[in-house]
Amino acid sequence: MFGLAGKVAIVTGGNGGIGLGMARGLAGAGARVVVAARDANKSEAAVRELGAGALAIAVDVTDERSVDALFRDAVARCGRLDILVNNAGINIRKPPHELSLAEWRQVIDTNLTSAYLCSHAAHPAMKRAGGGKIINIGSMMSIFGAPYAPAYAASKGGIVQFTKACAAAWAPDQIQVNAILPGWIDTDLTRRARVQVAGLHDSVLRRTPAGRWGTIDDFRGIAVFLAGRASDFITGAAITVDGGYSVQG
* Residues labelled as active-site residues: 152
Nearest residue to ligand NDP, scored by beta-carbon proximity: 17
Closest distance of CB 186 from ligand NDP, Å: 7
- Residues in 184-203 at the binding interface with ligand NDP, rule: CB under 6 A: 184-185, 187-190
188 CB neighbour count, 10 Å cutoff: 9
Going residue by residue from 88 to 127, which x/- string records binding to ligand NDP, judged by CB under 6 A? xxx-------------------xx----------------
Closest distance of CB 175 from ligand NDP, Å: 21
Interstrand relation of 83-86 and 32-37 (parallel, antiparallel or unpaired): unpaired
| Nearest CB to ligand NDP, comparing residues 87 and 178 | 87
What are φ and ψ of residue 5, in 5° steps?
A: -60, 135
| Nearest CB to ligand NDP, comparing residues 129 and 226 | 226
56, 59, 135, 151: which one contacts ligand NDP (CB under 6 A)? Answer: 59
CA separation for the pair 87, 25 (Å, rounded):
14
Closest distance of CB 156 from ligand NDP, Å: 7
CA separation for the pair 23, 26 (Å, rounded):
5
Using the rule CB under 6 A, give the single segment among 1-9, 81-89, 162-170, 226-234 that binds ligand NDP. Answer: 81-89
Closest distance of CB 115 from ligand NDP, Å: 9
| Nearest CB to ligand NDP, comparing residues 19 and 157 | 19
| Nearest CB to ligand NDP, comparing residues 129 and 153 | 153
Q: Binding-site residue total for ligand NDP (CB under 6 A)?
A: 30
Give the count of alpha carbons within 13 A of 142, CB side only.
26
H helices present in 51-183, as ranges:
64-78, 101-108, 114-129, 150-170
3-state secondary structure of 217: helix
54 Cβ contact partners less than 8 Å away, ≥ 6 residues apart: 23, 27, 32, 33, 34, 35, 46, 47
User: What CA–CA distances, in Å, run from 20 to 88, 173, 246?
Assistant: 11, 28, 24
- Residues near ligand NDP (CB under 6 A) are 12-13, 15-19, 37-39, 42, 59-62, 87-90, 110-111, 137, 139, 182, 184-185, 187-190
